Amino acid sequence: MTNDDYSSALTRRRFLRAVLAGSALVGAGALLNSCGAPSAGTSAPATANTTPLKIGLLVPSSDIYAVLGASITQGMQIAFAQVGNEAGGRPIEIISEDEGTKPDLALQKARKLVEQDQVALVAGVVSSGVANALRDYFHDGQKLLVLANAGANALARKAKSPYIFRASFSNWQSNWQMGTWAAANIGKRAMLSAPDYAAGKEMLSAFRNSFEAAGGEVVQVQLTPFPNIGDPAPFMAQIRDAAADFVYAFYSGAASVAFVKAYSDFGLAQTVPLAGVGFLVEQDVLPQLASAALNIRSALHWAAPLDNPENKAFTTAYQKLTNQQPNVFAVQGYDAARLIIEGVNAVQGDVSQQDILLKALGAATFASPRGPFKLDPNTNNPINPCYVREVRQAGSAYTNVVIAMLEAAGDPGDDSKDTPVA
């Protein structure tokens, strides 16, 4: 499916019609009901509010991260279908807007969802920059935001809000765990590379902290243009000349395709091993990367071959819905929806009981395709497993095979385990 196809699929209201119709997704829900799917909760009393529960969906449907937005949306579709597209006795109505990549425009879209469309909560958000820009609006207005991707560290630290919950990761996670592992298993001299924006710098700073603590040396930090790298040749030349044992990188979506392909095309893959946080070679880009991704090692909180019932059932449902392999963004969308369902069930659809709703969201636990899902009450951020994966070929397909499992960790809640990179 092309980016244009994804954008078309995500036009405003089209997702709403798909969710309310639900016919294609009921089968996906049936596949998951026996494998840890959320129950519909306690039956609502006869006097319950059965008007639609409006949920705002703010994800990219255009630009560089459109595929990520589509994956999150599809994961949410599966979770809502499992419970018949209702929670707390109320039918679910999704109203979607395009997040784009510009924080000021995304804030306008969020305000529209809350003030004009009167949604009960907003979910989604891919960009860390967008998430940071939304924080004060949701915190000051005491409105609920459930993040399905954006990993901005501050939202689990100094900018933590009781109204913002994350079903994905912080930018610190996986990178910090990988730093120690890389020093022991890849090399002691690393060059770091990421786009020049908040998420890229935060991910590299977490890796640098633990890598240097384990005896590693960062020989150079490379920050490339965002959102598009442009001509990769000068950056590949820097890597060639750095005399590093390996390169550790963060890129995602179309940017990862551009970087990893250039790395292979310039012959670097044969001389300087490439590693990174898992988005670099996640399942959404592997079909395009193909052999260029072979042997790249990465760390992430999910891997396609995970052998647990929830992951197997989710994979089957996702393939049935999309005719594609799932990816971590779809898993995060699924878990974000699961979290919402748990909270809304706890108040039997009466989201005006905000104190109870917030407490239920923070206490929610369930079996996820990634493994056990639980939030850290100090950060409203998941305590995530960390899988070290290696890209291997199986027939004509490529996948991330788990080669090590590192200790699960939540965000530290402050900046003590970060080493700035710029």
State the pLDDT at residue 37. Answer: 52
Q: CATH homologous superfamily of domain 3-170+307-382?
A: Response regulator (3.40.50.2300)
Peptide bond into 412 cis (omega under 30): no
Beta carbons within 8 Å of 311's beta carbon, 6+ residues apart: 302, 369, 370
Instruction: List per-block mean pLDDT (blocks of 10 residues) for the chain, which spans 422 residues.
Output: 38 41 41 47 53 97 92 98 96 98 96 98 96 98 98 98 98 98 98 95 98 98 94 98 98 94 97 98 96 98 97 98 96 98 97 97 97 97 98 94 97 97 86
201 vs 26, 138, 176, 195, 308, CA distance in Å?
42, 25, 13, 8, 33
Q: Where are the domains of the chain?
A: 3-170+307-382, 175-300+384-409
Please give the CATH architecture assigned to the domain spanning 175-300+384-409: 3-Layer(aba) Sandwich (3.40)
pTM (predicted TM-score): 0.89
239-244, long-range: CB within 8 Å, 24+ apart, which pairs?
Answer: 239/191, 239/193, 239/263, 239/268, 239/272, 240/266, 240/268, 240/272, 242/191, 243/189, 243/219, 244/187, 244/189, 244/190, 244/191, 244/219, 244/220, 244/272
Within 10 Å of residue 98's Cβ, how many Cβ atoms?
A: 19
Q: What is the 3-state secondary structure (H, E, C) of the chain?
A: CCHHHHHHHCCCCHHHHHHHHCHHHHHHHHHHCCCCCCCCCCCCCCCCCCCCEEEEEEECCCHHHHHHHHHHHHHHHHHHHHCCCEECCEEEEEEEEECCCCHHHHHHHHHHHHHHCCCCEEEECCCHHHHHHHHHHHHHCCCEEEECCCCCHHHHCCCCCCCEEECCCCCCCCHHHHHHHHHHHCCCEEEEEEECCHHHHHHHHHHHHHHHHCCCEEEEEEEECCCCCCCCHHHHHHHHHCCCCEEEECCCCHHHHHHHHHHHHCCHHHCCCEEEEHHHHCCCCHHHHHHHHCCCEEEECCCCCCCCHHHHHHHHHHHHHHCCCCCHHHHHHHHHHHHHHHHHHHCCCCCCCHHHHHHHHHHCEEEECCEEEEEECCCCEECEEEEEEEEEEECCEEEEEEEEEEEEECCCCCCCCCCCCC
Distance, CA of 218 to CA of 216 (rounded, Å) = 7
State the pLDDT at residue 49. Answer: 77
State the pLDDT at residue 161. Answer: 98
Asked if the domains at 3-170+307-382 and 175-300+384-409 fall in one CATH topology, the answer is yes
303 vs 99, 149, 206, CA distance in Å?
26, 16, 21
- Paired tokens of 5: 């196809």
323 φ/ψ sector (left φ>0, alpha ψ -120 to 50, else beta): left
